[in-house]
């Protein structure tokens, strides 16, 4: 059995990790941290976990490594990065769910996060943890930077087209909608019930921090610097993330050709499902699962491809993908602990 720890286990992604890992046959959950609930029984604070976990929350400090072979950091960005060197020094592998190690360039990080990266010497060790793109590197990694939720949905939808000459790669627009759990459990005005119920609102237009992450990965695939217009929206739902992505066609393309191509690219991917032509991605069909559903359409009148993708922001967009990465790092079947359908209704 491999001993795993979760730093930030009282947050939404931390709790999702607990839910997945207590049912995982190859690991033992051995340490859970929370500054707020330290010293309290996990199952007393979160009764949904009663009967499944027999631990107290502990403070996050370096002693975590004595109990763990691998640690998930489900911490706010810029907090996570300061803990990574200590874990790596003690031979503890790390899957960081924050944004701290996702961007390869410290300058780009500083531009978008308005703070200097404090661990520039280990930035180069981090592997971007999107298994569909970087499976081999993840398998050998000591430090995996788990992707953001929006980038996961957008990059998986776009990736196959980045190596074709079918579209104008300067024309990418990603219009995305997320459930409120995407903002985490910490209290904030915009996630209070009266502020986010019965309302759809755009935020972060042209400035959202997931933009450089999407651009980094699609640029690498395309072999040249690409930009996207990324427009996130907050939806009055708890979980789920839908992306609708537009690209201008530069040649005639049928839906049948597009469908065949996507199916070929993703034929061996356990967690990417290409929807039948005419079916569009829907968060109802992926929530509580590790699937990313991708729907395809050709808008022939306007010579555009319209892609849709749906994920659960807390599963394929965070904890599920983190477990998928852990499985790869440990050399166990990638789908272990994750192979279940979404919950609908
Ligand atoms: N929510 C999503 O859908 C999603 C998706 C992808 C990635 N992420 C990323 O995953 C990370 C966690 O997100 P989340 O949504 O789970 O956030 P969250 O619900 O706010 O949870 C944050 C956790 O970090 C702990 N924490 C906060 N400040 C800390 C500090 N200074 N030292 C130690 N622990 C501290 C909190 O614990 P206590 O308050 O109990 O101490 C809590 O357990 C973030 O970086 C986020 O950007 C989130």
Residues 175 and 290 in one domain: yes
pLDDT, average across residues 172-187: 97
So what's the pLDDT on residue 216? 98
Residue span of the structural domain in which 41 resides: 2-125
d(CA 293, CA 275): 7
Does residue 295 line the site of ligand 1, with CB under 6 A? no
What's 87's domain CATH number? 3.40.50.720
8, 73 contact by CB (below 8 A): yes
Backbone angles phi, psi at 201, to 5 degrees: -140, 145
What's 262's domain CATH number? 3.30.360.10
pLDDT, average across residues 176-190: 97
pLDDT in tens, 79-97: 999 999 999 999 999 999 9
Structure-block tokens of residue 14: 């931390």
Does residue 181 line the site of ligand 1, with CB under 6 A? yes
Question: Is the pLDDT reported for residue 66 higher than 90?
Answer: no
Handedness of CA 254, 242, 145, 25 (dihedral sign): negative
Site of tokens 């939720």:
149
Instruction: Give domain status of residue 330, yes or no.
Output: no
Instruction: Give domain status of residue 221, yes or no.
Output: yes
Instruction: Give domain status of residue 63, yes or no.
Output: yes
pLDDT in tens, 299-326: 999 999 999 999 999 999 999 999 999 9
R_g (Cα) of the chain, nearest Å: 20
241, 310 contact by CB (below 8 A): yes
Strands 93-96 and 143-145: parallel
Active centre residues (catalytic):
149
pTM: 0.98
Instruction: Look at the chain and report how many structural domains it folds into.
Output: 2
Ligand 1 atom with the smallest distance to the CA of 15 is 16
Average pLDDT score over the chain: 97
Instruction: Give domain status of residue 140, yes or no.
Output: no
Does residue 320 line the site of ligand 1, with CB under 6 A? no
Residues 159 and 29 in one domain: no
So what's the pLDDT on residue 137? 98
d(CA 117, CA 193): 35
Which residues on adjacent β-strands are paired with residue 7? Answer: 33, 73
Does residue 13 line the site of ligand 1, with CB under 6 A? yes
- Residues 6 or more apart whose Cβ sits within 8 Å of residue 34: 8, 9, 10, 45, 57
Pocket test for ligand 1, best of 74, 94, 95, 112 (most atoms within 8 A of CB): 74
pLDDT in tens, 100-114: 999 999 999 999 999
Residues 165 and 294 in one domain: yes
Which residues on adjacent β-strands are paired with residue 72? Answer: 6, 95
Instruction: Give domain status of residue 331, yes or no.
Output: no
């Amino acid at each position: 059995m491999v001993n795993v720890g979760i730093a930030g286990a009282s947050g939404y992604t931390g709790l999702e990790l607990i839910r997945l890992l207590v049912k995982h046959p190859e690991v033992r959950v051995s340490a859970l941290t929370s500054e707020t609930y330290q010293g309290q029984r996990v199952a007393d604070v979160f009764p949904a976990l009663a009967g499944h976990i027999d631990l107290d929350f502990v403070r996050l400090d370096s002693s975590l490594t004595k109990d763990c072979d691998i640690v998930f950091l489900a911490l706010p960005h810029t907090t996570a990065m300061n803990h990574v060197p200590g874990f790596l020094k003690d031979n503890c592998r790390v899957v960081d769910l924050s944004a701290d190690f996702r961007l390869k360039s410290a300058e780009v990080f500083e531009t978008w996060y308005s703070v200097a990266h404090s661990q520039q010497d280990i930035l180069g060790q981090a592997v971007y943890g999107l298994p569909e793109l970087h499976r081999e590197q993840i398998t050998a990694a000591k430090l995996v930077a788990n992707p953001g939720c929006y980038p996961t949905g957008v990059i998986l939808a776009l990736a196959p087209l980045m190596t074709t000459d079918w579209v104008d790669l300067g024309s990418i627009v990603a219009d995305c909608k997320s459930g409120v759990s995407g903002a985490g459990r910490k209290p904030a005005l915009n996630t209070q019930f009266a502020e986010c119920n019965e309302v759809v609102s755009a935020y972060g237009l042209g400035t959202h921090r997931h933009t450089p992450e999407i651009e980094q990965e699609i640029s690498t695939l395309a072999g040249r610097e690409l930009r996207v217009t990324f427009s996130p929206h907050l939806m009055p739902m708890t979980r789920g993330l839908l992306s609708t992505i537009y690209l201008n066609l530069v040649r005639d393309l049928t839906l049948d050709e597009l469908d065949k191509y996507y199916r070929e690219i993703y034929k061996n991917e356990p967690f990417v499902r290409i929807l039948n032509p005419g079916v569009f991605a829907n968060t109802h069909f992926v929530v509580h699962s590790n699937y990313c559903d991708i729907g395809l359409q050709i808008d022939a009148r306007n010579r555009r491809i319209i892609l849709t993708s749906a994920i659960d922001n807390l599963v394929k967009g965070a904890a599920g993908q983190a477990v998928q990465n852990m499985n790869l790092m440990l050399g166990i079947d990638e789908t272990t602990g994750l192979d279940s359908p979404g919950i609908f209704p």
